[in-house]
Each structure stands twice: as structure tokens, then as C-alpha cells.
Chains A and B, each alone.
Chain A
Amino acid sequence: MAAITVRQAISDAMREEMERDEDVFILGEEVGVWGGTFAVTRGFYDQFGPERVMDTPIAESAIIGAAIGAAMTGLRPIAELMTINFAFSAMDHIVNEAPKLHYMFGGQFKVPMVIRAPGGGGRQLGATHSQTPDAIFAHFPGLKVVAPGTPADHKGLLKAAIRSDDPVLFIEHATLYQWRGEVPDGDYVVPIGKSKVQRPGTDVTLVSYSRGLQLSMQAADELAKQGISAEVVDLRTLRPLDMDPIIESFKKTNRAVVVEEGWKSYGVGSEVVSRIYEEAFDYADAPVKRVAQKEVPLPYNQKLEQLAMPQVADVIQAVKEVL
């Protein structure tokens, strides 16, 4: 087992799948000759050639539309959006076409495609390029939404996404590419739709995913020094949402904090908290809290940006409020 970065894990997953299955190909802005905006596809153009690593015009609806057509006719495209903020230009294709074609054509078509899209803030990219709109996409039945945190899960879940016969939105986080961690060797696949306890604990349940997972793990380290044992549950997949490990954990700890980077209102945390109350009300010993982004367009100014984004200290504060 080797310790590799998230960037390497994503890259390995795609390379292995492209070597395994010649129907898999990549399309997107600057994915080929340039090697990807975040250098994830560096070397792919030379290894697989221009037909399987396709540079496209700056036209997101064309990228996703082309990918849907390719998927319907038998290929397995991986469409890369430079950031998830640009997904709005392709919204109709992403939420209105890809997830519904199989359903509306009575099962005659499959749409086995992956949309890779990095999101998140913290890099001073301004209000329109720093968003975490994950909940919007998780709202639509038919679209699987995956948002891993650890390097191992990035690799395992991306391989599962490529092999899935359904459209999968694979959300990455721009500040996680350097996160290094152990990834099992060989053909490592993680099933979509399974939440996971990333760190066991007894006093409080932290529910999170993606960059929020990193915050939660750091908060759990800090809390451990103060004698508080936090269990961290990683959603990994937002749709279909697997509540089982969360409910199981909550029944043990009776207290929970949900950590996400997106805005609090109508967010992933809202969904998780509702489900906790619906499924484990009698186990609640304190109100479940949400830690999320302030309800403002993310500022460009670095200090203001950090103030608006959830921080480790916010997680620790919330935990103390529910203990």
C-alpha cells in the first residue's frame, strides 16, 4: 500500500480504467495537450492519443451533451468540467437529460458517463468560481452524486463511477488534491452509496464529506486532546445517501454535528439532520448542529473568505455546544 495524493489517486483510477476498457475516454477543456487544469490528466494525451483524450471548446453544454450522446451509443465518457461552477451552463444536460433518459425511454438506453467537477472555495477565486453547490445536484433522482474525501476513496469511487451504467457526478475539491493518504494496491473499487466511519469514537458523531471530512478529522484530533472522542462518518456518496452508519453511530453517541462546506440553508446537512430526527429521534440527547458556509457569496478577500468558510474551530465549537 502506498501513500499517494488525491490527484494521483484520481489519475491512477482513470488510467487503470482506460487501460482496462477501451470504451472509456476523456473529454473536457485543456485535458489533453495541457494535461488538465489541475494536472490530473498529465501524460494521458501521450499515452492514449487525441481520440481518447479530447480537448473541447469552452462550451460546457457541448461537453456534457456530447458525453451523453457517446454514452447512449455505447462508450463510457469521462467529461471533465474545469470547475463545478461551470456546470450551471450545462444544467439542462446534467439534471434534465442524463438522469432521465434511461427512465423516459423505458430502459432502452443507458447513460454510463462520469462528470468530474472540482468545486469548493478557499483559493481566492471569487464568488462565481468558489462554490459548493453539491446539494443542488443531489436533489435529482437518477443522478448519482459522489464526493469523496480520502485518496483511497477518490480512487475506489472513481473506478466504481466509471463502471456504473448510470450517470455519476464525481465532485472533487480544489484544495484536496494534495491530501496524501494510503491507497490499497491493485484494482481497488469502492461501491457507490456506502457511507463509512473514518474514525471511531464514542462521545459525538461528526457527519461530513469531501473537504468537510478533512475539517472533521482535524477537529477530532483536536477534541481528542481535550478528552472528547468524536466518531467521524464520511458520506462519500450524496445520492444515494446511506444513513445506516450515521444512525448506528448516533444511537451510540446521541449527539451529532454535520459539517459541510456549502451554504447551510437547504444543504446536505439539512437532509442529514432531518433523517436523523426521522429515524432516531428517541436517541437525541441534544439538538443536532450544522457547521456550514456563511450565507453570503464567497468573498475574494482572503481573510473574509476564510471567515465565511467553515473552519476547524467552528466544528470544535459546535461539538462543545451539543455536548
Chain B
Amino acid sequence: MAEIMTMPKLGFDMAEGTLINWVKKEGEEVKKGDLLAEIETDKATVEVESLYDGTVRKLLVSAGSIVPVNEAIAVIGGADEEIDFDALDTGGAEEETAPTPAETTPTEMVVEKVVETPVAPTQTNGSLPAGVRVSPLARKMAKDNQIDLLRVTGSGPQGRIIKADIKKYIASPPTTTGSGPSLRMPSLAAADLGPIPADVHVPLTRLRQAIGRRMMGSKQEFPHFYVTSDLDMAPVMAMRKEYNGLLADSGEKLSVNDFIVKAAALALRQFPNLNASLAEKEVVQHGHVNIGVAVSVPNGLMTVVSQDADRKNIRQISIEVKEKAARARSGKVQPDDVEGSTFSISNLGMFDVDHFIAIINPPEAAILAVGSAAQMPVVVDGELTVGWRMKATVSVDHRVSDGAEAAQFMQALAGYIENPLSLVL
């Protein structure tokens, strides 16, 4: 009996994926669980395993194709089975809106763990907020020109965006660079620095586009505020040294960030309002404390998730984050690795930064930006001495929380960091 493999839905917002590479060829035998193809989604490169035993009878899409979710990609059947390919039901793109679990389970290798969080109102051209009017022509022009309709002002009846508005936008997109005072440049005419390199045009990868969409949505729609604290890191540095001595034989090594993940998870237990998402008329305070850790990957950034970090010990967190980060860097993450975070941490400590502020990762309500832990002169009991300090800044959605609560959260965080024994109780 011929079976159809479809483009799996690997994330709640995945609408299509790029089939990068066929691992199996037509005519090749395949076992259930064998690697069939590699697919690139907005977030990652994912391996697709065969759901069936048999022979790859037909590959329906070529490598490099962009395929909508649930659309057929391959037919697997008996080696000699007569298959009427035309008669097979290879459609199914219609099912892309909310397929029932019964329909999706057999066609998906990886069943997505959807954390029950309402999706933050980030918009793309396809789904505009209620009340935004766009003529069909303007909508098409915006799509063709990759214009975000939320940035276009409508001049038609009831503010409808019409052709003229798109044309105007294309002619002179709103720009943020003002005309500042001109700088007098010293002449470089004498120096021969060689020809000026040509402009390099780097196409946006899907990941780059996804980051752009999400961050723009967050920064435009979430009113951010920031609270920075200076944390005494001496106790953590000492404890870490001790632990790493114990772990030396196993080759494991705890990072400062592992301690921060644990400390943040425990602090969030006390401040559930920062472990939350804003729904339409309510704040959903999540039961799980899933800490996303920002990981730098080629061409972008991904957030790997330590699930229920408040219930794990630091070593478990360390192993989990390292494994998932390694998969993220090699482009092989699974949906579980990157989905479902309820709070995120971005740590640039390894780059010797004093401090920085981060953009909230929607639909979360807050994110912690961590700078470097460094030795510096400090005053203790009126005496100048050498201490370890680290600056951390929490960015919070002001619709959900206020400065006082964020400051108290930072105090609680400091309490754990500065008394790290409390992290292992």
C-alpha cells in the first residue's frame, strides 16, 4: 500500500519549509525511522525520518523547493507495487489551518510540544490586526515588494491602504536617519588604499527573516522598560571552581550561565508575573518555568530551552543547554530544543561586555541580559578591595509588569546568585 510523506509542521507558526536535501533516492529501500530528507524551517535545519517501511517510489519535490506544510513530498510503497501516482491524494495544503491531532500525528515524525501560550500579536502581511483595511491590489503590491503593511499609512476611505499609498511608500520609505550636521572628512587622496570593494548583497536567510520579524514585532509592540543590577559574583565564581574541580574527570564544565539559569528560574518561581505571556485581556502566568538561552549560530541567533529549569539541578541544566546549543549550532535542532520558553536569558559575558539590554522574545514578558563577570575594585565595609561583579539587565513588557516588581525580581535574583548554596537546596 503506497504511503505519502508530507511536509511536517515543526512549529506552531510554521507554514512552509525548504526541502534542502534528499537523503534517499527514488528506488532506494527505506525503513521506518530512516533519515529521508533534510528540511530547513524558519528556525532550523531538521531531519525528516521516514514513517514507513518500503521503497522510495517517487520524490514529489526537488531539493531546494519551498513546500507548504502538509503537502506531499514523497511516495513510499512496495518495490514492485503498481502505483497510480495521479490517483494518490497528494493534496492537503488545505489542512494547514489547525489540523486535528488525529490527522497530524501519523504524518509527523516529531510531535510538537506546544506550550499553552497565546501567540503574541506579531503581524505579518498575511494577518493584519482587525480594522486595518487594505485593497486587494495594495495587498498584492505589498507582498510583491515585501513591504510590511503595518508601516504604510492608508489614505483611502476609512484609512484603507490603496495603490497610491504603496507607490508612495516605495518611492520614499520612511527613514529614521535625519540629516545631521555634515562632518568634514580629512582628505585621503594621497594614500593608495587600493580599489574600494564592491557592495556585497547577502540574501536574508529564513532564520534572519524570522529574527527580523519577531524582534521588530516585539520592539514595536511591546513597551519595554529596563532595570539593571550589579551582582556580586564572588560566591558563584568560588563555587563554580569547586564544582568544576569535582567534575574534572568527567570532562564536564559548568559555566557561569548555568548558575544564572538556575537562579533566574528560582527567582521566577517567586515572581510568576515575569514568567508570563500577555493574551488579549489577561496575563497568563505559566506553570512551567522554561528558560530560553540565546545561542549564537551561523547567520543568526536561536534560543534553546531548558525545560522546567526550576526543577533541575545546575548540572542537569548545564548538560541540557550544551547539548541543545550544539545541535542549534550545527543546524540540527529539534522543535523541543527551541520551542516553549517562558523567559529568556541572553549572555554576552564571554565577549567582555560591561552590560547591554535585550529585546523581549515574544510572547514572553521579560528577558535577562547578562554582561561579563569581572574583577574590579569594590567597597566592602568601608574598605576598598577587589571583588567580582556582573551587571544584568532585565527587559520587561510594561503592559504586564512595572518597575518595582522588576526591581524586586532582580533583588531575588541577586539573593540566589550571592548565596549560591540556595541554588542547590
Residues of A within 8 A of B (CB): 254, 281-286, 321
Q: How far does the Cβ of A270 sit from chain B's closest Cβ, in whole Å?
A: 19
Q: A281-B136, A285-B156 are in contact. List 13 more A-B contacts (CB 8 A).
A: A254-B135, A254-B137, A254-B163, A282-B139, A282-B140, A283-B137, A284-B137, A285-B162, A285-B163, A286-B135, A286-B156, A286-B160, A286-B162
Decide if B138 is an interface residue (CB 8 Å cutoff). yes
Q: Which A residues are in CB contact (< 8 Å) with B160?
A: 286
In whole angstroms, how far apart are the Cα atoms of A35 and B156 in the complex? 55
A286 to B163, CA, bound (A): 9
What distance in Å separates the Cβ of B149 from its nearest Cβ neighbour in chain A?
14
A254: nearest residue on chain B (CB-CB)?
B137
Interface positions of B from 123 to 144, Cβ below 8 Å from A: 135-140
B111-169, CB < 8 A from A:
135-140, 156-157, 160, 162-163
Question: A281 — nearest CB in chain B belongs to which residue?
Answer: B136
Q: Give the chain A neighbours of B135 by CB distance below 8 A.
A: 254, 284-286
Interface size grouping (class) on chain B = 10 to 19
Residue of B nearest to A321 (CB): B157
Q: Which of B344-365 contact A (CB under 8 A)?
A: none
Task: Please name the residue on chain A nearest to B136 by beta carbon.
Answer: A284
Give the docked Cα–Cα distance between A284 and B162 (Å).
9
Shortest Cβ distance from B165 into A: residue:
A285
Q: How far is the CA of A282 from the CA of B163 in the complex (A)?
A: 11
Q: How far is the CA of A284 from the CA of B135 in the complex (A)?
A: 6
- Closest B residue to A284 by beta carbon equals B136
Name the A residues within 8 Å of B157 (CB-CB). Answer: 286, 321
- Complex CA gap A154/B139 in Å reads 42
Complex CA–CA separation, A284 to B140 (angstroms): 10
Give the docked Cα–Cα distance between A284 and B137 (Å). 5
Which 4 residue pairs spanning A and B have beta carbons closest together? A282-B140, A285-B137, A285-B135, A284-B136
What is the bound-complex CA distance between A280 and B139, given in angstroms?
Answer: 13
Task: For B138, give its contact among A281, A285, A321 (CB under 8 Å).
Answer: A285
Contacts of A254 in B (CB 8 A): 135, 137, 163
CA distance A241 to B163 in the complex (A): 29
Write out the residue numbers on chain A whose beta carbons fall within 8 Å of the beta carbon of B139.
282
Tell me, rounded to whole Å, the shortest Cβ–Cβ distance linking B147 to chain A.
15
Which single residue of chain A is at the shortest CB-CB distance from B137? A285
**CB<8 Å pairs between A and B, sample of 26:** A254-B135, A254-B137, A254-B163, A281-B136, A282-B136, A282-B137, A282-B139, A282-B140, A283-B136, A283-B137, A284-B135, A284-B136, A284-B137, A285-B135, A285-B136, A285-B137, A285-B138, A285-B156, A285-B162, A285-B163, A286-B135, A286-B156, A286-B157, A286-B160, A286-B162, A321-B157
Complex Cα distance, B157 from A321, in Å, reads 9
Give the Cβ gap from B140 to chain A, nearest Cβ, in Å: 4
A94, B192: Cα distance in complex, Å: 91
B144 and chain A: residue at smallest CB distance: A282
- Would you list which residues of chain B between 214 and 263 have a CB under 8 Å from chain A? none
In the bound complex, residues from chain A placing their C-beta under 8 Å from that of B137 are 254, 282-285
- Complex CA gap A173/B370 in Å reads 82
Cβ contacts under 8 Å, B163 to chain A: 254, 285
In whole angstroms, what is the CA distance A282 to B140 when docked?
Answer: 6
Bound form: Cα–Cα A282–B138 in Å = 8
Give the CA-CA distance A276 to B356 in the complex, in Å: 55
The CB with the most chain B CB atoms within 10 A, among A281, A285, A286, A321, is that of A285
Residue of A nearest to B161 (CB): A285
Cα(A283)–Cα(B136), bound, Å: 6
Q: Which residue of A lies closest to B162 (CB)?
A: A285
Query: What chain B residues lie within 8 Å of A281 (beta carbons)?
Result: 136
Chain B 319-339 residues near chain A, CB threshold 8 A = none
Q: What's the nearest-Cβ distance from chain B to residue A303, in Å?
A: 32
Nearest CB of chain A from residue B175's CB, rounded to whole Å: 26
Closest to B164 in A: A285
